[in-house]
Amino acid sequence: MKDTVIIYVISDAIGETAQHLIRASTAQFTLEGGADIRRHAFVRDAETLIEILGEAKNADAIIVQTLVQKKLAVIASDYCAEHGLPCIDLVSNLTAAIEQKTGQKSKEDPGNMRRLDQHYFDRIAAIEFAVKYDDCKDPRGILEADIVLVGISRTSKTPLSSYLANQNYKVANVPLVPEIPIPTELTQIPRNRIIGLTNSPEKLAAIRKVRLKSIGLDETSSYSSENRILEELDYGYRIFKQLGCRVIEVEDKAIEETAALIIEKVK
């Protein structure tokens, strides 16, 4: 039984999509040697492709291809079939199905997805929005936001704002501090656009101590004390109730998982 696996990603673009999918799949296995992912991007001629396939054969690798040019995809599939290499084609079957449904032919243009279009410019605008309205620097952003995240310190508001901005959502976030009243703008928007974020006292204490240490401050500061954290959590829940917003517990959730929950609740 092997405790490691070699996977060749072959793409005529950058191969990023395949790499994400491979990581999701390999995470389901205990591979002591890990997954050795070897990405070959911008493969756009048969000679280069065959050379890479030869390397993969010598390495006894799995092939994952995202080749939109049919000629190259067929070469890769035929080579793998001939030499007994596992080959996963992430593009061809779906492309063929779309062609059949629409009656159109694929453009077979590897760079088409990456061209600058309105989606790209909207994403850049969303990222700029998230930076501008991070930590409630200007509460007027709350009125324009698609999503408003509220929560006490260290509940992942800023990382989530950045991640959601990359999904084209305009996000503002508001820190909840017992001594500071919430901005009136929070009461002027539909509650379904507001998401409350919370965490366990234990997790917050650990995160805050690390934060204090990283900036050279005393880890025993009131900021990380149990009493202060419980006070803030209690205040946070009172604000969530006042706003009538939905609440997500972020403890032990990856940013991607929490973001997916937020999008689901907002939609």
Binding residues are 151-158
* End-to-end CA gap in the chain: 45
Alpha helices in the chain (DSSP H): 16-26, 46-58, 70-83, 92-102, 118-132, 141-144, 157-165, 201-214, 226-243, 255-266
- Phi and psi at residue 127, in whole multiples of 5°? -65, -45
242 burial (CB, 10 Å; 0-12 / 13-18 / 19+) is exposed
Annotated binding site for ADP: 151-158
- The number of C-alpha atoms within 13 Å of 15 and in the hemisphere containing its C-beta is 21
